[in-house]
Amino acid sequence: MSNSNFLWEIILRELKSTVDPHVFDTWFSGASIDNVDFMKKSIVITSKEALISQFIQGAYDQKLKEILKKNTGFDFNIDYTSLDTDIPLITPQVFDEKPAAENLIRQNFLQGDKPSGAQHFYQKQTFPLEDYKHPVPNKNITASKKNPTLNKNYTFENFVVGEGNAFTHNIAWNVAVSPGGIYNPLFIYGGVGLGKTHLLHAIGNEMEANFPDFKIECISSEKFLNEFLASIKPMKDKNNYTNADEDFRRKYRDVDALLIDDIQFLSGKTETQNAFFHTFNELQMNQKQIVLISDRSPSQLNDLEDRLVTRFSQGITADITPPDFETRMAIIKFKCEQFDIKLDEETLTYISSNVSSNIRELEGVLKRIKFTATSKHEQPSLSIAEEILKSAKTSPRKNISPDNIINVCADFYKIKVDDILSSSRKKEVVQVRNIAIYLCRELTTLSFPSIGDCFNKDHTSILYSFNKIAKLSKDENPEIFEDIEVIKERLGKI
């Protein structure tokens, strides 16, 4: 084995033990190490695609250097390169700037040039670059009759880019200007209210503006399920159930792009998964773009057939993580302009420090501040913001830890912490444990395996417990959800 291969083996082995297996496969499976120069203390890591290189550099440069230091004793410099050298490397961007690739593509379009990156993408398309009608950002996206499922308020124009979403935004933009290319399917996942649906519709809107003849279907998987069930009902009634009916099949298979939200909703729905599998295959075979949104990564999708999970991971998987303080500030400023609210810097900082990372919640707080100020005939102010945040039960940003959650749950239900952490199968203990696990996932950024570490369980059991609560209907179990609200409120006061 050469020096390079040997070193790479060591690096991969160490990374594998610390990185989520799905993340590892996505980013490192196709990468290799070249040009190890022990004199100059430099190595080159080559990936298949520039975007992968960029991601590895952005997210793992430090980690890789640590592993190299640990195993060689030297501080190495790492250069990152990719096999598709004609695609420009995209440097992660900070909030109010557009990603470099996007800027480059747009700039070059404006100058009438064919950008090398976009050209490369377009060579894979049925649409040559010359046919590209709207190369510049489409500011005038208006409601279309053609694709009424697209929400026109969700565009790239009004999406604030920050650390946690820059990479995904880049990919989404590339998919919108070059559908059916190398990023197919695009699988986006992340926590509640972080802009996944916004990006999904932004892709559709931008795509529609760029390719006016496109037929784009943008739906939730719940709607897909309902339409599927409605389509097979007549056949089932006649005891003649074979396949989803032709209308349903054609509706989703005759599209140029299928954008599906909340794909996790298909978990456990075997017949719908089967229908979706065939739809997916036909679209992919015909190089039609598929974008999937989920609240968790493909490998964490429970009760979903393996053949689907594998297909979801075939293109590119990109996540959105909660915004950091600066991004929250940028989003609040942007939303203030949108909602016509004037806040001073102190109030902006207060909101950004105290509102949870869920952007939907953040929007709600701003709207309530505006409403309260208007009804009091006052200007929006810090004191109104404080009043709203206290009364709205929006838990101020605290470091809620699994320990806090377990303690508060134990106290609330009057059972012992040890029981929650035990393997007791008593019904009341199991229920409290499930709630604690559910809250750990909802209120912290921990992955299922990490939550498993806190409860001495493997991630499959944690997923199972989480779903036990997540899949409950609020209407049928109001008391559990009331309990959860009270526990959240108590946690906010810790």
Ligand X SMILES: Nc1ncnc2c1ncn2[C@@H]1O[C@H](COP(=O)(O)OP(=O)(O)OP(=O)(O)O)[C@@H](O)[C@H]1O
Q: Which residues are annotated as a binding site?
A: 193, 195-197
Q: Which is nearer to ligand X, 158 or 461 (CB)?
A: 158
Longest CA–CA separation in the chain, Å: 77
CB of 34 to ligand X, least distance (A): 37
Question: Which one of 102, 208, 295, 319 is in contact with ligand X (CB under 6 A)?
Answer: 295
- Residue 198 within binding range of ligand X, rule CB under 6 A: yes
Q: Which is nearer to ligand X, 114 or 198 (CB)?
A: 198
Q: How many residues in the chain?
A: 494
Question: Which one of 67, 160, 301, 451 is in contact with ligand X (CB under 6 A)?
Answer: 160
Q: Which stretch binds ligand X (CB under 6 A): 30-38, 102-110, 188-196, 248-256?
A: 188-196
236 and 269 Cβ atoms separated by less than 8 Å: no
Burial (CB count <10 Å: 0-12, 13-18, 19+), residue 487: buried
Q: Which is nearer to ligand X, 215 or 333 (CB)?
A: 333
Distance in angstroms (rounded) separating the CA atoms of residues 341 and 69: 51
Q: Which is nearer to ligand X, 115 or 298 (CB)?
A: 298
Question: What letters, b where the CB count within 10 A reaches 16 and e where it falls short, cover 180-205?
Answer: bbbbbbbbbbbbebbbbbbbbbbbbb
Question: Which one of 98, 114, 120, 196 is in contact with ligand X (CB under 6 A)?
Answer: 196
Closest residue to bound ligand X by CB? 195
How many residues contact ligand X, by CB under 6 A?
17
CB atoms within 10 A of CB 423: 11
- Residue 159 within binding range of ligand X, rule CB under 6 A: yes
Residue ranges at the known binding site for ATP: 193, 195-197
Distance in angstroms (rounded) separating the CA atoms of residues 234 and 356: 47
Q: Which stretch binds ligand X (CB under 6 A): 193-201, 263-271, 386-394, 472-480?
A: 193-201
- Residue 99 within binding range of ligand X, rule CB under 6 A: no
- Residue 441 within binding range of ligand X, rule CB under 6 A: no
CB of 478 to ligand X, least distance (A): 20
Q: Which is nearer to ligand X, 192 or 472 (CB)?
A: 192
- Residue 296 within binding range of ligand X, rule CB under 6 A: no
CB atoms within 10 A of CB 65: 16
Question: Which one of 26, 93, 138, 165 is in contact with ligand X (CB under 6 A)?
Answer: 165
- Residue 41 within binding range of ligand X, rule CB under 6 A: no
CB of 83 to ligand X, least distance (A): 31
Distance in angstroms (rounded) separating the CA atoms of residues 59 and 373: 42
CB of 409 to ligand X, least distance (A): 24
Q: Which is nearer to ligand X, 117 or 193 (CB)?
A: 193
Distance in angstroms (rounded) separating the CA atoms of residues 287 and 118: 17
460 contacts: CB under 8 Å, gap ≥ 6: none
Contacts of the segment 444-450: beta carbons below 8 A, 24+ positions apart: 444/400, 444/401, 444/402, 444/405, 445/191, 445/321, 445/322, 446/402, 447/20, 448/296, 448/300, 449/20
CB of 197 to ligand X, least distance (A): 3
Distance in angstroms (rounded) separating the CA atoms of residues 416 and 3: 55
Distance in angstroms (rounded) separating the CA atoms of residues 150 and 217: 8
How far is the CA of 310 from the CAs of 171, 219, 315, in angstroms?
20, 22, 10
- Residue 263 within binding range of ligand X, rule CB under 6 A: no
- Residue 195 within binding range of ligand X, rule CB under 6 A: yes
Q: Which stretch binds ligand X (CB under 6 A): 97-105, 110-118, 152-160, 175-183?
A: 152-160
Distance in angstroms (rounded) separating the CA atoms of residues 375 and 65: 57
Task: Name the helix (H) or strand (E) containing 451.
Answer: helix 448-455
End-to-end CA distance of the chain: 55
- Residue 118 within binding range of ligand X, rule CB under 6 A: no
Q: Where in 352-381 is the site for ligand X (CB under 6 A)?
A: 359-360, 363
Name the residues that contact ligand X, by CB under 6 A. 154, 159-160, 165, 190, 192-198, 295, 331, 359-360, 363
